[in-house]
Amino acid sequence: MPVNLPLPIASELKPIKGLRLGHAHAGIRKANRKDVLVLELAEGSSVAGVFTKNRFCAAPVSICREHLKSGLPIRALVVNTGNANAGTGEPGYQNAIKTCDELAQLMGLKREQVLPFSTGVILEPLPVDKLVAALPAAIGNLQADNWFNAAESIMTTDTQPKAASMEVMIDGKAITLTGISKGAGMIHPNMATMLGYVATDAQVSQDLLQALTTEAADVSFNAITIDGDTSTNDSFIVMATGASGVQIPASGEQYETFRQALIKLSQTLAQMIVRDGEGATKFITIQIEGGKTNEECKQVAEAIAHSPLVKTAFFASDPNLGRILAAIGYAGITDLDVSQVQLWLDDVWVAKNGGRNPDYKEEDGQAVMKKSEIVVRAHLGRGSASQTIWTCDLSHEYVSINADYRS
């Protein structure tokens, strides 16, 4: 069961003017499930993206990068679940191209105006004929108020759809942002984890949107980890239709309002992935403070978050907190003065000046470990930099889910 993650309410997911979404059942991996999604963007929209750094990136990722660099306006996206089209070589690349060609023809576009995405099993051929055959149904189903179905259409091992909306006021006008994400396993920050799509009716230039997308990814999808595995298909896309008529400048109060809204929504969607992590029973916030740089703080946070010993201790509600200190020690800061390190579990001061706090009582740590949401905070005593990431525990269920993934 997800950790404190309510099911999205379809009526609360706000439509975005200038964007329509349509879904279909293609039977790519399983029959009678939503597994194809098409998004149609109005003319004049801007689109930006951040993608996986995995060298075995999927064919659709390569094509997305190419099409975004083509200079032609992006007018459509197509997503399939059930098959990642990764590790499929030239045939996989051609299948992704065929998907773009078919959708472009149906929508009166050029190939380069379509961005393809796939998610699912790696190293298996994409059943492109099934995907292409479902495109007319998805197009026929296009509607603005279709975010909930869209969220369901991109799920793999997710136990529920992930979606959220928000509004902000800029120059007296309401700007809407709505997004969906998917992912529950193979989650490690090295771009924008798994799949995430955010749309807004604000008007944002291409260059500014790319900069904002990269920044938002770094503090959201790049700040989560479930199992330390970086997917071959990770993609985070932000679309700005401009239909509100409100132009976002490159600086100033309006810019900052929009920037904070995009970051907040991106973090919400990213945290939903952790809360629905495969087999997760705990949602854990790791805050590292007092570093020389943000990079070394993130290095320490990831060492803690990726440690199987730390994660299994959280699952067992076992305050074996020396494991956290060990992870801090091997994180790679060669000149770390451990006598300056402080460690808290929520507001319980566990380690003081590099050793056990004389006032720490194990029953206090035990009480925190039994919670479903826990904050781990460490101060390195080296400077003023800080970094926060979000993770979950590691349970028996995670092993079972991934052992049976292809069943």
Catalytic residue numbers read: 193
Report d(CA 130, CA 151) in Å as an integer.
Answer: 20
- CA dist 199 to 17, 45, 205, 213, 387, Å? 9, 10, 14, 11, 27
Phi then psi for residue 375, to 5 deg, are -110, 125
DSSP string, 214-230: HHHHHTTGGGB-SSSPP
Report d(CA 77, CA 115) in Å as an integer.
Answer: 5
Report d(CA 280, CA 71) in Å as an integer.
Answer: 42
Which residues are within 8 A (CB) of 9 and not within 5 positions of it... i.e. 6 or more apart? none
Tell me the sheet residues that pair with 168: 175
Closest to 259 in 3D by CA, of 339, 317, 175, 347:
175
CB-CB contact of 73 with 43 (8 Å):
yes
Phi then psi for residue 28, to 5 deg, are -65, -45
The 3-state DSSP class for residue 309 equals helix
H or E segment to which residue 296 belongs: helix 294-306
H or E segment to which residue 93 belongs: helix 89-107
CB-CB contact of 118 with 79 (8 Å):
yes
| Residue 156 CA, distance from chain mean position | 14
Tracing tokens 């896309």 back to the chain, one arrives at: 237
Tracing tokens 């999604």 back to the chain, one arrives at: 37
Report d(CA 183, CA 194) in Å as an integer.
Answer: 6
Tracing tokens 């503090």 back to the chain, one arrives at: 219
Which residues are within 8 A (CB) of 250 and not within 5 positions of it... i.e. 6 or more apart? 205, 208
Report d(CA 155, CA 298) in Å as an integer.
Answer: 29
Closest to 200 in 3D by CA, of 140, 257, 275:
257
